[in-house]
Amino acid sequence: MRRSVGLKGGILLVAALAASALALYAQRIPRPGFNLFSKEQDIQLGKEGAAEIEKQINLVDNREVNEYIERIGRRLSSAPEADNYPYSFKVVFDDSINAFALPGGPTYVHTGLILAAENEAQLAGVIAHEISHVALRHGTNQASKANLIGLGAILGGSLAGGSLSGQLAQLGIGFGANSVLLKFSRSAERDADILGARIMNHAGYNPIEMARFFEKLEAETGRRSGVAEFFSSHPNPGNRMKRVEEEIRFLPKRTYDADTGQLARIQAILKGLPPPPKKEAPKAQAGPASAPRVEPSGKLREFQGREFALSYPDNWQAYPDRNSAAVTFAPQGGIVSNGQVGLGVIANLRASSGRMDLERATASLIEELKRSNPSLRETGRSRRASVDGRPALVATLESDSPFGGRETDLLVAVEHPRGLLYVVFVAPLDQYPAHQPTFERMLSSLRLAR
């Protein structure tokens, strides 16, 4: 009798330990962060960006090479962690050791990287790393953080539909060498290493080879041509080998048998290919736009949203975000580079539950805005006010203007039944006095949902 109880207890203990291990495994999976784009917009942006980029690069036209990279990519992207995006995998004729992936799935591998890999698992590791950037939505996450206030105007409302990449390009967001969509933070690199290790494990490749390849490249920086380009967009998060080794401990046990043994043949084919024809370099982008000089109309029209109503000049446009309460009001030309609002008004709601401390919530908001815009600073103390019969705080801020010089950003934060409603009135310093009466009329018209 005692033996059977002991056996049952042992089974329960093993089951509990297994459940605990699975829970810990799930907790370690990196997740996509804050994002103003929808997944569908990621996919649309990637398709449009691929069409644009492929006009400027030389793709390898060799069936065996392309099928080889496509086969590795398909095996890796079948992992659940890849999140079922419409991935594609192509080879770029370029001696630099690099690879990149666009939002939504288009993935490109340079010939220089294929030639630098010592084994197929190392090549698969870089591709898995790029797949992870797509699945974790790092490109649009970075764009969203860099444009916290103004990007909603582009992604929703009257600007919805049509060419998304075209709309973003007009605002300074493109796929050039320094694009925010293709340059990642160290924390993004860390998460792509962790998720990439899981994707490799699922596909039957040893994840440690990814870390070995990156560490090999790091050691050769400055001594080998073509390496610096990779780390300019993929900064080393540090301790890669140790982090991947720790991750392997939590991964399901696999037999690493995915290597096809074809890498040496593919490398020989690439070395024998004739050089590609040169393509013209893309034209340089125009400099910053000029601030619009059209006076706001004295006639107002009302915007009625879910959380508030606000009147605005009838020669301006309202750009509501379909996925949130955010709305931007701006004249033609008021929304400029990097999705910033150079002249206009942004309103949004930070939802919260329970009782809210207005001063703390406003201070937290200002700190968040400073993190997304390092040039932002407060020019005075916040003052108390009342908006639509509710407590409010007014803070005068100043930051770099996308039109050049500095701008005034008057922040009004109001207690809302569902959180903190904030309105930012934006204008270049020299234009703010002329627009202040319009801003005051707009603020007086603000009505909160009850």
pTM for the whole thing? 0.64
In this structure, the answer to whether residues 323 and 228 fall within a common structural domain is no
Domain end marker among 222, 256, 272:
272
In this structure, the answer to whether residues 258 and 359 fall within a common structural domain is no
The span from the CA of 241 to the CA of 211, in Å, is 5
The CA–CA distances, whole Å, from 325 to 236, 322, 392 equal 37, 8, 19
Q: Is residue 2 in a domain?
A: no
The pair of three-digit structure tokens given for residue 226, joined into one six-digit string:
């073509």
In this structure, the answer to whether residues 203 and 316 fall within a common structural domain is no
Please give the chain's pLDDT, 450 residues, in tens: 444 445 555 555 544 444 444 444 555 689 998 888 889 999 999 999 999 899 889 999 999 999 999 999 999 999 999 999 999 999 999 998 899 999 999 999 999 999 999 999 999 999 999 999 999 999 988 887 766 555 665 665 434 445 777 767 655 677 765 677 887 888 889 999 999 999 999 999 999 999 999 888 887 765 555 555 566 667 777 778 888 888 988 898 889 999 999 999 999 999 999 988 776 654 544 455 677 887 899 999 999 988 899 999 999 988 887 667 888 899 988 887 556 788 999 999 988 877 889 999 999 889 888 877 888 899 888 999 999 999 999 999 999 888 888 999 999 999 998 899 999 999 999 999 999 999 999 999 999 987
The pair of three-digit structure tokens given for residue 259, joined into one six-digit string:
């290597």
Q: Is residue 3 in a domain?
A: no
In this structure, the answer to whether residues 238 and 374 fall within a common structural domain is no
In this structure, the answer to whether residues 248 and 342 fall within a common structural domain is no
The span from the CA of 224 to the CA of 204, in Å, is 30
Helix/strand/coil for 301: strand
The span from the CA of 390 to the CA of 351, in Å, is 16
Q: Is 372 left (phi over 0), alpha (psi -120 to 50) or beta?
A: alpha
CB 156 within 8 A of CB 319: yes
Strands 106-110 and 88-92: parallel
User: Domain total for the chain?
Assistant: 2
Q: Give percent helix, percent strand, percent coil of the chain, each to the nearest 5.
A: 45, 20, 40
In this structure, the answer to whether residues 322 and 392 fall within a common structural domain is yes
| Helical (H) or strand (E) element with 267 | helix 263-272
pLDDT of the residue at 290: 75
The span from the CA of 330 to the CA of 345, in Å, is 6
The CATH number linked to 431 is: 3.40.1000.10
Tokens 């879910």 belong to: 306
The pair of three-digit structure tokens given for residue 344, joined into one six-digit string:
């206009």
In this structure, the answer to whether residues 245 and 318 fall within a common structural domain is no
The parent domain of residue 229 ranges over 22-272
pLDDT of the residue at 180: 72
Domain end marker among 257, 272, 287:
272
